[in-house]
Structure 1
Amino acid sequence: MTEQTKTIEKPIVDNISNVSEWLVNHSDLIVQYCINIVAAILILFIGNLIAKGIAKGVSRGLHKKRMDPAVIEFVHGIVRYLLLAIVLIAALSRLGVQTASVVAVIGAAGLAIGLALQGSLSNFAAGVLIVGFRPFRSGDYVEIAGVAGSVESIQIFQTVLTTPDNKVVIVPNSSVIGNPITNYSRHKTRRIDLVIGVSYKADLQKTKEVLYNVLANEPRLLKDPAPNVGVLTLGASSVDLVVRPWVNTADYWNVYFDLVQKIKEELDANGIEIPFPQMDVHLNKLDS
């Protein structure tokens, strides 16, 4: 072995010896760190399972109390994320991180994030208001911010609607609170408003009798409140009558469509004309 090789190997051997000596001298510290890391991982793993279990338990308890499913989903999300935050702080504490410092850092970061994510925080606050005041429930058919659909769920930051043609529309909670909400399902009954135009030559009394007969032969209409038929306006091409029966909310659209068809058929059967927009043109002959 040459002198140059010996010169290279000596520092390596010395370094290995120093590392071994350091490991022996600090073996207790290394073991403690390893135990803390394993414990922190176990805290995260087991804590996550416990958080899920508690959140599911809360959901089951609310289901037993027959709470609105949309509210249950909102509360489930809040409980789970709060517990996960506690688990994370516990894991950091096990690693030796000062939790007071962590809380202070989280507070400062929360302020900065809050300023940057004002929209998300407003959506969260709006979600709390929706759950608190409950302007609608899961399954209600509503119109919000120009979107109509059935409420599928109320989440932390958004409300999910399903349209009649089975499209999913996600509306931010702040838009829900900041816009008028039309709830078509809140009451058990609804009024159908139909405008029927007939010719100016038609016998209005006979027309009203035909319309009342159609309503009387529809078993799904409510007797109380009683249906109403009256002359609404004298239009440009027709006399417009309004037909206003009451029906159970669940039957609204089926009855609506059937009534329109039956009214058309009965007016035709009784010789009552439903005019289309028209214009009378008079030509005057001029002498040459």
Structure 2
Amino acid sequence: MRKPERLQKSLLHAYVWKRQTIEQLVEVTGKSHVWVKKQLDTAQSNERPLIPQTTPLSADVTFWGRGYGVIVFRSPTRKKNLWWKEIQFETPWIYKQGLDHLLKEGWNFTGVVIDGKRGIAQVFENAGIPVQYCQFHQIKTVTKYLTRKPKTEAGVELRSLTLTLTHTNEETFRLKLKAWYERHESFLQERSPAPHTKRGWEYTHKRVQSAYRSLTTNLCRLFTCQKYPELNLPNTTNCLDGMFSQIKNRLAVHRGLRRERRYKVICEILKGEEK
């Protein structure tokens, strides 16, 4: 490797992994801001190809504001990111693109953990891959509808039941959810006048209904990890949540990055630090 290339890689490593700002790199090198930025933009990092093998998979997206995000496929057992891409919107098609790419490379997936967005489970199930919905995302969804402090007895009970997801089993949870519904069925059917609607009424407790519907819809995929313990599937996408937090923390040091340099930093983090 030529000396200029070594210097560029050294600067990029300091910028990404040692959280050195442009100002600090200018001070260290004695060069101008323009020169330092050019070196960072020109620097080429070594590709670190992985040998395709059998592994469980976690797949999720993180966003920076509206219209810019990154989708990542990660092996929770190997602790390696297998595929990622910049995106504007989270759609089933982008998950299919990543899955097709990795299958073509020779990867074999025992199962996948996802966050439960509509249509994404079918992408993997159509390829014969079992799907586990992230239990923490399900808790988050129910909390979004009910808040952390529900104002109704039905809401309090439903959120308390949802919080048991990570330490119960499907049969117990299903029975308790059924019992909850039977206790509160008449409450859920209560209506309020709504002259602005065609039918002239609406359900009074729509948010409690939505929380319940989310649980019943997703229940068949919330305990896949228990049904098939041999798959070694996690019950959450925590391995990706931690990765996304690391990316955002490192990017926070370099505010105001233009898109190309920001994605370069993201890629370096997702590849992993060279030892």
Please state which band the TM-score falls in when normalised by the shorter chain. under 0.3
In the superposition, the TM-score normalised over structure 1's length comes to 0.22
In the superposition, the TM-score normalised over structure 2's length comes to 0.22
